[in-house]
Amino acid sequence: MRAVRTWLFEEPVVAISLTQEDGRLLVALGSKLIWWWPQTDRREDHGFVLPGAPRVRLNDGRTDPAGNFWVGSMKNNVLPDGQLGEVGPGEGILYRIARDGAVTEWRHGLGISNTLCWSPDRGTFYFADTLANEIYAFDYDAGAGAISGERHFFTGFDRGSPDGSAIDSEGYLWNCRYGGRCIARIAPDGSLAEVIDMPVTNITTCTFGGADLKTLYITTAGSGPGERLAGSLYAMRVEVAGLPENRYGIATK
């Protein structure tokens, strides 16, 4: 029998990152970042608080190869009763939070921030705006932790909208398609290499795990009473290994 342990938070948990300290995680809640030690359930504020909350909230986030945490915001569609409201374009911002807590705003006017991934050679950053149905590519400078040269990477796919993603060791992006009932595996040149059908409609994000990084863990969202397994966590064995997740840097005092 599998044992399941549950933790409750005061706000929705939107992203989690490993850190350079084993057992200590960086957690993005709707309006702020916190430190969390799951073994003892100790929690401390990180220091970053989202400007404009609760009108806006954080969404997808991930740590880059240089140890900075990137996270995007969006119009807050989580109503006080827990139900989902409307989402509008143009209110999201892409933030970079450095290891010393310094905050830089990199992109404005976003709808829903998703898909923060870096290529195996650390030269490319991938980012999606779900409302625009676009995945973008940027040049990434690991030394400076900076992005430039925005360009269209993957667009026009008619099965759902781009949600979260993971990247494998060959540089292919595994993009979860919200409303599309599938995952799109996208080649480094932006071409569609493979479509993996899923048993539920709303596929939200994925990550590689297991000892060989060949298990893809896939999260999904509810879509009404007609899909009993919507909102479940899925696991799928794949042939190509993923990349280990980067660890957020912890500034020394």
Catalytic residues: 163
Contacting residues for 142 by C-beta, under 8 A, at least 6 apart: 64, 65, 66, 122
State the virtual CA torsion across 152, 158, 161, 164 in degrees, nearest 10: -70
C-alpha span between 150 and 142 (Å, rounded): 16
Structure tokens at 56: 């806006």
C-alpha span between 146 and 218 (Å, rounded): 29
Residue whose C-alpha is closest to residue 175's, from 162, 188, 156: 162
C-alpha span between 198 and 200 (Å, rounded): 6
Q: Residue 190 to residues 110, 185, 247: CA-CA distances in angstroms? A: 21, 10, 27
Identity at 84, one-letter amino acid code:
L
